[in-house]
């Protein structure tokens, strides 16, 4: 089987880097996205998202003629679906993007094609995708009815790359390959071996789906443990950072770091896909989500207490005279990604409730998101330190780690990352 042309549907944080690495291996790549702005930008050799080094790889792929973007699917030998899978209602998975993507590629499918679902999905989504394709193309056979003899091969191969390190991890990480049949898996392995240097490990589609959800739930549960410890330690007047450092000296203990809550579009979402399928059984996974989701409010309460403490020590002042500076808006250190960021949510909530000035320091952006405009002032580190009465450390960006203790001393501090303690 040879894959001359590869189509990647969904040119976001996963799809675009994947399209670019295929193109860098001299595959002809057709990127498909419903967003015309993304398509135009990519065809100019530029990128509409932020990921280190991706701009160079995309620019080279487009100018050398290996990557082209379009809004309408075209024939290819393999299709990778990398569209979002958010949740809706009471944390129910929303598969509508997968459904539209399936319906957009169905008309151009031909016998022998491979369709891979890369989007993080609840168990059963790959079978559902195959059912949508079969419904649209009754003239072709699919694995759910024709097993190994099917015209179209279907697999789930979840992405597992870390934002900020996507290009390296795409190539180096091991890959889980969950074919609906063994021929489907073999075809998918052959495709990924174009650029994957890690191991391609074969399983079935349902186990591959659950594997991805398990990895992110494992991390969520472990972060919840750290976050719960931080709340317990606050009550007991113990430094949680010292505690974790000490406990981690045990050869079989490796506690993660507490923070202001869990952000991003993966870890705060994926565990719900397990909970929604098995609500009675997924008790720990649900509780971890609830613990992490409640952490931002705990931080806000700490900030209120710090404001109260400052007012007690400065009886001539009212809350209106107190300036609060929030350090960090991104969802994790050293990136500019504010999507689903607890730090951004905390800063906004403080700004909505506090009658005084609220400053935000975020060295990785030069403009605040629209919903913060007029409520929060973007400020540099020096100015924020000079002007603020209460300092809230929300993200452990490298620029914040080298701030001297002297310059922090005059303000009340809430340090959710333990870098100033
Ligand atoms: N966080 C903590 N404490 C920690 C570690 C993380 O509070 O000790 C917070 C971060 O600040 C952030 C959130 O958790 O708000 C998530 O950050 P992350 O670095 O743990 O993960 P993501 O969302 O950037 O990427 C994860 C990765 N999954 C795992 O590490 C198991 C990545 O490999 C996945 O590909 C990605 O989700 C995804 O796309 O699913």
Q: Is the pLDDT of residue 164 over 90?
A: no
Which residues of the chain does CATH 3.40.50.720 include?
5-198, 217-415
Measured from the Cβ of residue 243, the count of other Cβ atoms closer than 10 Å reads 16
Ligand 1 contact via 276 beta carbon (within 6 Å):
no
Closest ligand 1 atom to 227 CA: 7
Question: Whose structure tokens read 């050293």?
Answer: 334
In order of 186, 297, 358, the CA distances from 349 in angstroms are: 50, 9, 10
What are the residues whose beta carbons fall under 8 Å from the beta carbon of 58, sequence distance 6 or more?
16, 20, 42, 45, 46, 47, 67
In this prediction, residue 290 carries a pLDDT of 98
Q: State in Å, rounded, how far the first CA of the chain is from the last one.
A: 58
Is the minimum distance from the CB of 160 to ligand 1 under 6 angstroms? yes
SS3 of 226, please? helix
What's the pLDDT band for 121 if we cut at 50, 70, 90? very high
Give the integer Cα–Cα distance in Å for 338 and 343: 8
Check pLDDT > 80 for residue 421. Answer: no
Predicted local confidence at residue 339, as pLDDT? 86
Distance CA 252, CA 221 (A): 17
Ligand 1 centroid distance, CA of 86 (Å):
16
Predicted confidence at residue 50, as pLDDT, reads 81
Place of tokens 């290996």: 66
Ligand 1 atom closest to the Cα of residue 263 is: 15
- When pLDDT is cut at 50, 70 and 90, the band that residue 200 belongs to is very high
Is there an atom of ligand 1 within 6 Å of 344 CB? no
Ligand 1 pocket residue status of 161, Cβ below 6 Å = yes
Distance CA 244, CA 2 (A): 51
> Beta strand pairing status for 390-393 and 412-415?
parallel
H or E segment at 34?
none
Which numbered atom of ligand 1 lies nearest the CA of 212?
Answer: 40
Q: What are the tens digits of pLDDT across the range 372-390?
A: 999 999 999 999 999 999 9
Q: What is the pLDDT of residue 161?
A: 95
Q: Considering the chain, what percentage of its residues have pLDDT values greater than 90?
A: 94
Asked if residues 244 and 257 have their Cβ atoms less than 8 Å apart, the reply is yes
Rounded distance from Cα 161 to ligand 1 centre (Å): 10
> Which pLDDT belongs to residue 51?
87
* 1 pLDDT more than 90: no
Q: Please determine, for residue 2, whether its predicted confidence score (pLDDT) is greater than 90.
A: no
pLDDT at position 163 is: 87
Distance 353 CA to ligand 1 centre (A): 29
- Beta-ladder partners of 155: 116, 179
Average pLDDT on 186-208 reads: 98
Catalytic residue list: 212, 266
Confidence band for 265, pLDDT divided at 50, 70 and 90: confident
CA–CA separation, 329 and 393 (whole Å): 10
Answer CATH for 5-198 from 3.40.50.720, 3.30.420.10, 2.40.100.10, 3.20.20.110: 3.40.50.720
> What DSSP state is assigned to residue 286?
H
As beta bridge partners, residue 390 has 324, 412
Could you confirm whether domain 217-415 is CATH 3.20.20.70? no
Q: What is the pLDDT of residue 410?
A: 87
């Amino acid at each position: 089987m040879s894959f001359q042309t590869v189509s990647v549907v969904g040119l976001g944080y996963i799809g675009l880097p994947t399209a670019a690495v295929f193109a860098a291996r001299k595959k002809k790549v057709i990127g498909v996205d419903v967003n015309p702005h993304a398509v135009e930008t990519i065809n100019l050799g530029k990128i509409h998202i932020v990921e280190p080094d991706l701009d160079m790889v995309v620019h080279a792929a487009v100018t050398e003629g290996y990557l082209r973007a379009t809004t309408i699917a075209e024939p290819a030998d393999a299709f990778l679906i990398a569209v979002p899978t958010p949740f809706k209602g009471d944390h129910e998975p929303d598969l509508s993007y997968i459904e539209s993507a399936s319906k957009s590629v169905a008309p151009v499918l031909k016998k022998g094609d491979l369709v891979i679902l890369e989007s993080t999905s609840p168990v059963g989504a790959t079978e559902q995708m195959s059912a949508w394709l079969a419904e649209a193309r009754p003239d072709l056979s699919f694995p759910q009815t024709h097993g190994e003899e099917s015209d179209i091969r279907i697999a789930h191969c979840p992405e597992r790359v870390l934002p900020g390190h996507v290009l390296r991890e795409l190539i180096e990480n091991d890959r889980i390959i969950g074919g609906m049949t063994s021929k489907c898996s073999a075809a998918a392995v052959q495709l990924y071996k174009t650029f994957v240097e890690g191991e391609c490990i074969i399983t079935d589609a349902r186990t591959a789906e659950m594997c991805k959800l398990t990895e992110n739930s494992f991390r969520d549960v472990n972060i919840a443990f750290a976050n719960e410890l931080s709340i317990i330690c606050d009550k007991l007047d113990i430094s949680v950072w010292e505690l974790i450092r000490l406990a981690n000296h045990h050869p079989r203990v490796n506690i993660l770091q507490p923070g202001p809550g869990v952000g991003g579009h993966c870890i705060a979402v994926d565990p719900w896909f397990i909970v929604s399928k098995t609500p009675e059984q997924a008790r720990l996974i649900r509780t971890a989500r609830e613990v992490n989701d409640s952490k931002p409010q705990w931080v806000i309460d700490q900030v209120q207490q710090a404001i109260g403490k400052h007012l007690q020590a400065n009886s001539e002042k009212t809350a209106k005279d107190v300036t609060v500076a929030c350090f960090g808006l991104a969802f994790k250190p050293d990136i500019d990604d504010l999507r689903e960021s607890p730090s951004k949510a905390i800063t906004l909530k403080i700004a909505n409730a506090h009658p005084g000035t609220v400053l935000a320091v975020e060295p990785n952006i030069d403009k605040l998101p629209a919903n913060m405009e007029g409520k929060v002032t973007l400020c540099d580190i020096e100015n924020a330190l000079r002007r603020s009465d209460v300092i809230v450390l929300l993200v452990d960006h490298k620029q914040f780690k080298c701030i001297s203790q002297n310059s922090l001393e005059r303000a009340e501090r809430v340090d959710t990352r333990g870098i100033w303690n």
